[in-house]
Every structure is written in structure tokens, then in C-alpha cells.
Structure 1
Amino acid sequence: MGAECQYELAQAAYVKLALHALKHPAAAVNGLLVGRLLDGASSPVVVAVVDVVPLSHCPHHLPLLPTHELVLNLVEDHFGAQGLAVVGYYHANALRDDADLPAVAKRVGDHIFRNFPRAAVLLLNNNKLEEAVKGKNREPVVQHPILSNSSKWISSTVIWCAWTWV
């Protein structure tokens, strides 16, 4: 992925993706992260995620990659006029204890990565989401799998100081 990269996630975008998962607790949900690469000579590079576009929710996550590719193009066209682009993807599994990124999410992440090499993939942690709703936990409810040097999405420990809530 090149040089170190940090991400800013707008509060409205974070709330929208969490609400998408909460609205469909027995279904896998997913959507696109929309934002921009911030200009400047700052190091590390910053990707600002300003919005999310919920895509689907289904009890058994079907590999609908052609549909996702069509939606990617439509979202790029819509937000392109505002200087924004698809900068990532989010996914929540249907099962509460499932913390693995499914194959279709990896394929969509790969597709976005080809067009935006600083792409982020977020995996919602259903256990943390449930605890947050009950007021038992105030930690962020997302994990950030990263693309390894071997071009495989692997679990990563999120250093939340690298994520700025705006």
C-alpha cells in the first residue's frame, strides 16, 4: 500500500454504517465508503471518509459482484461531481460471532483497491455493536482488515488514534 496512511471517518458516516447494521441484525450488510485523499504535504497520507452508501442486506451473503461493480460505477458518477470517490467498503456479517471478512467482501475490496490504492475495508464487529447499543462499550465497532504484501486481506489491529472522528 505504499507509505503510511491514516483515515478520517466523519461521524455521520460512522453512524450511518452502524445504523445500517442495526436495522438488519440477522442479515449481512455492506456498503461503500465515499471520500477523498486530502491534499497537502502532510505525512502520513490522509484519506477522509465523508459518507457511506449502504448497498445491501441479505440473510445469506450472496456473491453479487456484478451488481456491486454496477453500483460502484453509479456511485463514482454521482459523487465525482463533488470531488469525491469510492475509497473503501464496509461489511457486517449476519452471524454475531463471525469476525471473518467473507470472500465477496475481499473481492469488492480488491476491485476498489485497483482504482484507489489507499482503499479501506471495514468489518463491523457485531459483538461490539450490540454492547454499544446496550451502553456497555464505547469502543468503535469496526475492524480494519488490511491488504498484505501478498495481496490478501488480513485482520489488523486498529490503532484508533490513526482514525480521526470529524
Structure 2
Amino acid sequence: MAIIQTTIAGIRSMTSPLATDRYYVSDIEKEGFWLFDPLDTTSADNTGTILKDTSGNVYKRIDEGIIDLKWFGVTGSGNESIIIQTAINVCAYKTLWIPEGVYYAKNLTGISNLTISGQGTLKSDSTAVVPDTLLAFTDCTNVTIRDITLDGNKGVVPGAP
């Protein structure tokens, strides 16, 4: 087994991975170990937990049960609903970590067996007269949300007087 230091772009440009190797991604806020899964040919690349190379090979992050929202590419600027929803969707039986910062979204849908935790804020990006839902859990069980802020008031900017 070899440990190969690379980047997300480096993995995506690979063509002949070995299942015995581990790939360490050193991209800032996306660091971590990945492995090639030769049995998976169908998973979609989501940047956070699944990567695909130019030959269609699938690499999976070794995550130990905690998924960092930053792995998926959130920046805290603009509506990031699609990115945040992608992260939620892969977190069944895991914890989605919301790092410090404010992340704008709307109409997020929760899943069962999910914990959302962290230090950050999910803030509504709704511009509708009747606001959209920030985060909804319909027919979901075993859901825990702790140590984050859910802010449905788009008109108020954190830290403003």
C-alpha cells in the first residue's frame, strides 16, 4: 500500500488507480484520505465524499462518520442550497458538520438518521414575500440538530446594528 499525496484535481485527472493505495488530498478545507473503489461505477461525483476520475473510476473519502460541509465547496457567499443539500443527502447515519460562518440556503430537505452540528449558521436566502422554508424534515426520524444557528430572517445581517 502506498500513500499518494494529491489534490482533488489530481484525483480527477488519474486514469489507473490501485485499490491498495490511499490518496491524501491536501486542498485547503478539503484535506483527507480517499480510496479507489473498483466495484463502484455508478456513484456521482459530489466533491465532498465521492470523486470520479477521467476514466470514470470512483474514489471515496474515508470520513469516520463526520462530514464537513466545507468538503463540498461552500464559500459563504451567495445561495448554496444545492451544495448544502448534496451534503445533507450523503449524511444518513452520520454527522454533518457546519463550520463557523454563515451559509445561505432555502428549501433544504432533511433525511432520517441525521445529525447536524457545528459552529456555523444556516441562513435563509429567500426573497419571496411569503418566505420559503429554510430546512424541512418531513416523515423523518432520528434527527438531531445542535450547536448551530438556523436563521430564517434574510433581512438581518449578522453583526449589523
Q: Same fold by TM (over 0.5)?
A: no
Q: Report the TM-score when normalising by structure 1.
A: 0.27
- Larger relative contact order, structure 1 or 2 (CA cutoff 8 Å, min sep 6): 1
